[in-house]
Structure 1
Amino acid sequence: MDFVSMLFNEYRALVSLLLSLMVLVVVIMVWWDKVSFWWLNTWYAFPLIGKESRLAKDYETQVKIYDKDWLNTEVALCTDFAAHYEKVNKDEELFSKSQDYLGKVTENGRNNLHIFGWILIAALVFVEAMGFSYVLSGFTIPGASEKLQQQGAVGIAFIISVLLVGLTHFTGHELHANSLIKKAKVWWKNAKNRDKTTPELAPNTRINLDKTFEDDDEPQYKQVINRISTNAEVKPRYFITTITAIAILVIAVLATYVRGQVLEKMHIDEVNIQQNSGLYQEQDPYAEAPPAFLVEESKSADAKTDTDIWEREQKGGWGTFIFLAFLFILLQIFGILIGFKTGFAGKHSKDARKEIGNFKSEREFKTHYSRLKQQVARVAQKRLTNLQQRMNQKAETNCQDPKVLEVLEACGDRSFLTYMEDLGNAESRYDQSVRLREHQTLASHQAMKSTPVVATTNAVEAVEAPEAVEAMEARLKAELVAEANAKKAAETETPEQAEQRIRQELLAEIAQQKKPVETEEQMRDRLRKEMLGELS
């Protein structure tokens, strides 16, 4: 404490500046979205050196975005503000997905540990660590001064506190994850006892916050396993718990032992001081020497008194040290319980809880983010309108190109919300094509598994069972159609139109031609060549 007081007294200005910077950094980190949006708007509005002034100089460069003519500067401005618009572009579907995800992983109602909880746990552990770190500093820094030992004690207490707070918190998380695994395994075993066709207890790694509804038809134990990290055997893990238990026991035992040794050392030093003071005690030369038996009795009485006092001090000291060790272990168990009751084991549970926040209903969620979207869109549109006006003023004075003037005159058709709407439509089309490819790939895999392999070229069998050949051809054509649709998904033609066109062409070809008997491999090669020819 003397070191801290000296630091504040002698370096008050420097310490105040550092603390102010730390507070400012924390505030910026907590409210980074608002701070960054404010700075973007301010930077665009700066006169002369602002980004709006610099973009207004380029009014001739045109680009085509989503089949529409835009100016490059307009796209640059909309892109800057689109990043902030996307952060608040949330609807009630996201709220439902987050609630569904937390419900399926049975973590609804849980929260992360608040910052004040972290401060409380850190302070408790630091105070407890200071109790024996000062004792340890005497041995870690032998021969050091009292002041240096105090500084060393603070450093040792800080290191121990950081390690213990982290270990106990992660141990609580590990125990919570193990509890979910055990719960899922119990449900799985119960279902397996009732139905022998119960599938394996293996996670579906495709499940995330956006695809949380895909396993609605699966049993509850499978929904839990899909959302937590497990090992290959789907068993609880106790790696961090073991390390934490060893660390707590070692620190408690060694700290108690060192305290006991310090107590013994203090007693030895006290005895030595008493003996040395007795040796140099002045004797009265004129006093009569006491009888020998009285001297012996006095010495034995003093020795017995000293022994009794030391025994009681020793028992009291060791009792105190054992109590402090018990209190230390109890405090670590308290930290583990806090880690067990807070935080999440689900892979996306933290994001889901962050999206839900303190909102109580979908309507409240939608209203809040609708208001934020309107604020961002209003500011972005204001900046875009100012930019377009500046470009029009410069073009009227310096530009003679009629095409450029025509594009500038049509600036009313280009707004920030129009840009965001076109961007959203493009993303929706891309998502639809991705989902279509995934669905077609999954369907083709299922068809390959369910359809028996035909590996014979016997013409008699083909005549006896013409339906099998036609079924094989239809299946192979369906697979090739899926591949063709996947390749043409990014072209101007939509996947639905491409699939419908190819299906009609294939049906017409099958109806007009009589196919000879072929093996599966020959049929696959022939159909692939025909499809590649049509696509090219």
Structure 2
Amino acid sequence: MLEIFRAFFTAYWYVIIPVVFTTLMAIPVIVYWSSFKYWWMNLRIRMPGFGRIRHWVKNPGTKEAPSEENPKALGFLSSESELCHFYEAYYRDHQPSEAAFHRNQDYLGKIHEDGRHEKGLGLWSLIIILMLIEATAFGFALAPFALTLATPNTAMAGAFAIGLVISIIGLFLSEFAGRVLYKNSVIDHIMSYQSLRRSGSEGDFTGKGVITLDNTKSDSELPEYQQMLNRVKVDKKDGMPIKSFGVLIGYGVFIIGLAAAAFWVRTETLNAQETDLIANPPAISQSADDFPSNDGVPLPDDMQAMSDSAAGKSAQDQIDALHRASLVTFAVLSGLFIFIQATSTYLAYIYGFAGIHSRRAWELVHKFSSADEYMRYHARKARSVANDAQASLGTLQGLQMKVFRIGGEDETKLREDLSSRNFKAFINEEDDKAARKGIKDGEAGTRTQARQLILNYLNQIMADVNAAIKAGDDAKINQLIAQAMPRLEQIDDKDPELVGLKQSFNSLKIFYVAPAPASTAAPAPAPVVAQVVAVTVEAAPAPVVAPAPAAAAAAAPSTTSFDHNAFGDLTAFDEDDIDYVANKKGVDAATIRRARKLQMLDKQEV
């Protein structure tokens, strides 16, 4: 066996070493994926001769000119902006706050995953080593039947490759199965609240919105089971969450079938070896031959028969012992395969997360015991990213200045504002753009809401007028139109959308009937005449007329309930303007006439 291993590794070291090296290098990449992505991005930008900087030097792009979106543009070249955008994403990942730290903890706490972790470097190393052991075991099991027309070493290499593929598939399936098992346990936890359900909509076992790390506290008033449902994706049936078993069944069939197939292959290999041994028993029994048959001395027939019987019995005993030992070994190997898969599944069950954003929240806070520590760490990382970005930007700008074929004022100006085009200035400019866009979007949203309110008002007025027309209520029709027309008169005629609505509503004036002036204005002259007489008498020096003010005071109750100054100064208007003023003020013309007469009376008294 050792000779086979030695020959295999000697013949295919150039294949085995890269495979093992790549597998081992995959472990830190998996564990430190976010750091690896940043390192790889930085490498692609700065790589001499092949990096993105080389491309940007040849294609600098154009300078950004001031625009409505960015009126204070600093004049970054397209290439400079593109470079800064690569680093901006990582820079903003390290601009958190204490509130963000507490939000991440809140998210994990509401789904009960604040005590869970992801697999670390050690566990992933163990899993990869177990996978390689599986691949080797499958390679030896498949070697006699894989690539039968190839050389033994080639067949061994092919069998190892097939075994490696099977092991990788088993690893992925075990990871999926473990996560499904954990999600099923989360569903069991949710369903354990079934007897404690609240009444109404809060008793539903359904999510009540999309919860992210930013709005995680928006469902604090909801029951615990709905908080969990807002953070995990589950299958549902009849409005209730249900567990999933499809992946588990498929995984179980795969593992049991593969273990049985491996046992069967090894057994068939053993049977083939036993057939060879039975066909050539001297190969086994030669060392145990009690009767020398090759020394040239003839044996009697009875002794020859005894010798042949002993040799056959010895060979059969060895074959039986080999068969039993091999079967036990094969069973142990199949059991070991199942144990390795079960271990991988269990590790996937106790590590990892079911929440949609739980892994991200854990990545942000798991290294820190307090918000202060969290803030210090991210401030340090932000400075590091900013320094890397500025170094790359400086390299790009320096190379561009060497190859630009421009002269005169352009080159001078480019050098003058070179110091202002730095990464920090780029971040500030992007913040200004975002703030300006937010204000613009807010204004647009306000205008949209205002237009919608006007539309809703018009629709409601139309419906009310229509109902009044059907009911034959002329007074109601007059009241609705009189109230609406002054409001719609304020719509700007330059607004192309609303002016059409204004004109459409003005067509309803055919239903409006202005009240006759005499109907309401007739009682008004009586107190006016009385007051005029009182005034003239008051001007006389005779003391007999002294009680006259009391008469005026007596008439006051009839006018105190009507505030004739509520509509402003009406004495400046002519009688022909009364209808227009009434429309603008939203009242009937008779009321305006009455208020105007009282105001004129006040001026006469003065």
Find out whether 1:270 has 2:277 as its counterpart: yes
Q: Counterpart amino acid of 1:248?
A: I
1:207-356 aligned within 5 A: 207-233=211-237, 234-274=241-281, 287=298, 289-291=300-302, 299-356=308-365
Taking the TM superposition and a 5 Å limit, the aligned residue runs for 1:118-197 are: 118-187=124-193, 189-192=194-197, 195=199
3-state DSSP class of the match of 2:242? coil
Q: 1:398 aligns with which of 402, 409, 420?
A: 409
- Which deviations, in whole Å up to 9, do the C-alpha atoms of 1:267-312 show, x marking residues without a partner? 2211211269999x97888746243xx5555555554444444333
SS in 1 for 2:192: helix
Residue 6 of structure 1 pairs with residue 11 of structure 2 = yes
- Describe the SS at the equivalent of 2:321: helix
CA contact (8 A) 2:131 2:164 kept: no
CA distance in structure 2 between the aligned counterparts of 1:208 and 1:396, rounded to whole angstroms: 53
Residues 349, 460 of structure 1: alpha-carbon distance in 2 compared, 3 angstrom cutoff: same
Say whether residues 1:362 and 2:371 are aligned partners: yes
Q: Distance in 1 between matches of 2:284 and 2:88?
A: 83
Q: 5 Å matches for 1:430-449? A: none
Is the contact between residue 62 and residue 78 of structure 2 (CA under 8 Å) also seen in structure 1? no
Q: Is the 1:110–1:342 contact (alpha carbons within 8 Å) kept by the matching residues of 2? A: yes
Distance 1:102 1:376 in 2: 28
260-269 or 115-124, which moves further after superposition? 115-124
Flag the structure with more relative contact order, 1 or 2, with Cα contacts below 8 A and sequence separation at least 6: 1
State the identity %.
20
1:33 equivalent in alignment to 2:38: yes
Q: Which amino acid aligns with 2:586?
A: Q
Instruction: Quickly say closer, same or farther: Cα 1:303–1:15, change in 2 above 3 A.
Output: closer
The TM-score with structure 2 as length reference comes to 0.59
One-letter amino acid of the structure 2 residue matched with residue 5 of structure 1: T
- Does the alignment pair 1:371 with 2:380? yes
2:115 aligned with 1:109: yes
2:66 aligned counterpart, secondary structure: strand
| Structure 2: runs of 5 or more not aligned | 287-291, 451-462, 488-496, 499-582, 589-606
Match of 1:531 in 2: none
For 1:323 and 1:133, how far apart are their aligned partners in 2? 16
- C-alpha distance 342-430 of structure 1, shift in aligned 2 (>3 A): farther
Structure 2: which amino acid aligns with 1:336? T
Structure 1 runs not aligned, ≥5 long: 441-452, 478-486, 489-508, 515-536
Range with greater deviation from structure 2 (427-436 or 307-316):
427-436
Amino acid in structure 2 at the alignment position of 1:4: F
- Whether 2:223 is the aligned partner of 1:203: answer no
Question: Could you say which residue in structure 1 is the equivalent of 2:586?
Answer: 512
Q: CA deviation at 1:210?
A: 2.3
**Contact 1:78/1:380 (<8 A) preserved:** no
Alpha-carbon distance, 1:100 to partner: 1.8
Give the Cα–Cα distance (whole angstroms) in 2 for the partners of residues 169 and 28 of structure 1: 17
* Matched ranges for 1:462-481 at <5 A: none
Query: CA–CA distance in 2 between the matches of 1:221 and 1:438?
Result: 38
User: Is 1:88 matched with 2:98?
Assistant: no
SS in 2 for 1:347: coil
**Structure 1 residues 361 and 436: CA distance shift in structure 2, 3 A:** farther
- Assess if the C-alpha contact under 8 Å between 2:111 and 2:228 holds in 1: yes
C-alpha separation in 2, matches of 1:416 and 1:196? 52
Which region of structure 1 is more displaced relative to structure 2, 424-433 or 156-165? 424-433
Counterpart CA distance in 2 for 1:41 and 1:151 is 39
**For residues 427 and 71 of structure 1, do their structure 2 counterparts lie closer, same or farther at Cα, with a shift above 3 Å needed?**
closer
SS in 2 for 1:320: helix
Amino acid at match of 1:33: Y
**Aligned residue pairs, count:** 446
Residue pair 2:59, 2:79 contacting (<8 A) in 1 also: no
1:99 aligns to 2:110 (yes or no): no
Check conservation: 1:227, 1:346, Cα contact below 8 A: yes
Give the whole-Å Cα distance in 2 for the aligned partners of 1:374 and 1:284.
Answer: 91
Structure-1-length-normalised TM-score? 0.65
Deviation at 1:436, TM superposition (A): 8.7
TM superposition shift of 1:78:
5.2
Q: Tell me by how many angstroms 1:242 deviates.
A: 1.1
Provide the alpha-carbon RMSD of the alignment.
5.4
Deviations 1:50-92 (A, max 9, x none): 968986x977x73225563325436864564255234233222
Q: What is the CA–CA distance in structure 1 between the aligned matches of 2:140 and 2:254, rounded to whole Å?
A: 19
Letter in 2 for 1:230: V
Q: CA deviation at 1:218?
A: 1.2
Q: For residue 434 of structure 1, report the CA deviation from its aligned partner.
A: 10
Counterpart CA distance in 1 for 2:364 and 2:47 is 28
Aligned equivalents of 2:196, 2:339: Cα separation in 1: 39
Q: 2:539 — aligned with what?
A: none
Q: Distance in 1 between matches of 2:115 and 2:336?
A: 31
Whether the 8 Å contact between 2:142 and 2:265 is mirrored in structure 1 is: yes
Match of 1:524 in 2: none
Q: Does 1:419 align with 2:424?
A: no
CA distance 1:116–1:206, change in 2 (3 Å): same
CA separation of 1:397 and 1:107: change in aligned 2, threshold 3 A: same
Which residue of structure 2 lines up, in the alignment, with residue 63 of structure 1?
66
Q: 1:34 to 1:424 in 2, by over 3 A?
A: farther
Q: 1:31 to 1:129 in 2, by over 3 A?
A: closer
Q: 1:307 to 1:284 in 2, by over 3 A?
A: closer
Q: Which amino acid aligns with 2:281?
A: Q
Q: Residue 33 and residue 143 in structure 1: after superposition, are their counterparts in 2 closer, same or farther (change >3 A)?
A: closer
The structure-2 alpha-carbon separation of the partners of 1:329 and 1:283, relative to structure 1 and needing over 3 Å to count, comes to: closer
- SS for the counterpart of 2:104 is helix
Tell me the distance in 2 between the aligned counterparts of 1:7 and 1:51.
Answer: 43
8 Å CA contact retained: 1:133, 1:156: yes
Which of 1 and 2 has greater Rg?
A: 2
